[in-house]
Amino acid sequence: DTGVSQDPRHKITKRGQNVTFRCDPISEHNRLYWYRQTLGQGPEFLTYFQNEAQLEKSRLLSDRFSAERPKGSFSTLEIQRTEQGDSAMYLCASSLAIGWETQYFGPGTRLLVL
Amino acid sequence: AQTVTQSQPEMSVQEAETVTLSCTYDTSESDYYLFWYKQPPSRQMILVIRQEAYKQQNATENRFSVNFQKAAKSFSLKISDSQLGDAAMYFCAYRSPDDKIIFGKGTRLHILP
């Protein structure tokens, strides 16, 4: 097992464009989380899935953001009509949904909106 | 609402010395987990150590140990025999019963050779 992977690692886009990021969790993990981390801050929770069900969304997740996990494996996070304030590192993490299992993080996708 | 506070934005320690990073948190829950994560420059976040709130014994992982004071809501990380590879951003984190993790703002640790 190679751990949580994310693609792309870096993305530069122009304001107003749509972007999509992918996260592949550790294979046996049924929980998947998205976080956003801005420079000099700790990660902030965005949303999480158990299998294919999206269980919770933060109020940070505006209507321009949508996340899916169609088959309970990989997940995508789409940002529509990007704004400069969306520039951040987007982190994905996964865990088992048993008790208090540790979340394991991917390397992140760094987004720069020009 | 739960909060996590790291009051030391940056710290430096001489190689082979011991350093302690501070963290306080606020919660009304009695059952939760606390974590220290390490984020090296341009590399992914990795778990350093975790502590179950119901356990009185402080967690230890090799050179890393915590001082967990539940009543004071304090959770500090001690790194013994500091190594150059320990240089990173360290985040204290709280995991609530509803499975959300709340992170502090981090402490950047520099190791001086």
pLDDT at residue A39, as a whole number:
87
* Cβ contact B99–A108 (<8 Å): no
Summarize pLDDT for B78-96 with one digit per residue, the tens.
999 999 999 999 999 999 8
Measured in degrees and rounded to the nearest 5, phi and psi for residue B75 equal -150, 85
Contacts of A89 in chain B (CB under 8 A): none
Rounded average pLDDT over B20-37: 94
Q: B74 or B56, which is more confident?
A: B74
Residue A103: pLDDT above 70?
yes
3-state secondary structure of B32: coil
> In whole angstroms, what separates CA A106 from the centre of its chain?
9
Residue A112 is inside which H or E element, if any?
strand A109-113
pLDDT at residue A28, as a whole number:
87
Q: How confident is the model at residue A96 (pLDDT cuts 50, 70, 90)?
A: confident
Share of chain B above pLDDT 90, in %: 80
- Asked if A25 is an interface residue toward chain B (Cβ–Cβ < 8 A), one would say no
Contacts of A33 in chain B (CB under 8 A): 101
